[in-house]
Structure 1
């Protein structure tokens, strides 16, 4: 993991994004203290959303039907949560 100062990060932000896109994690420091980490984004999937919702306690009927209608639109073959 690479560590850079906030000043360096500001001046070379595009280069940092290139490194993160390649899978690198970069720590950014200010006054010698780590204040941020830049890391590759973890893609979310519709399946993960459905699994998270399945673990919640029961909802009232109206809200539950709204959620069912929304999750029925999710697919596992691409879409906004699959990085398509």
Structure 2
């Protein structure tokens, strides 16, 4: 997994590209929390749509990116609330 960080209009957006596929939101959220915990960041799940990362709340949704010669890539997008 790896992540990209974007900032615009003082709101932060983090995109986490996942190595595995998750078919339910709860499993996806646990994977994202584990990813940030492994990076040494303080992260916890508030509910199935909200994370607390380093003291800031983020709304989480998933996207899938289709590729021509490989399976689709699943991403978790965190938008600062």
Query: Shorter-chain TM-score category?
Result: under 0.3
Greater strand share, 1 or 2? 2
Q: TM-score normalized by structure 2?
A: 0.24
Task: Identify the structure with bigger relative contact order (alpha carbons < 8 Å, sequence gap 6+).
Answer: 2
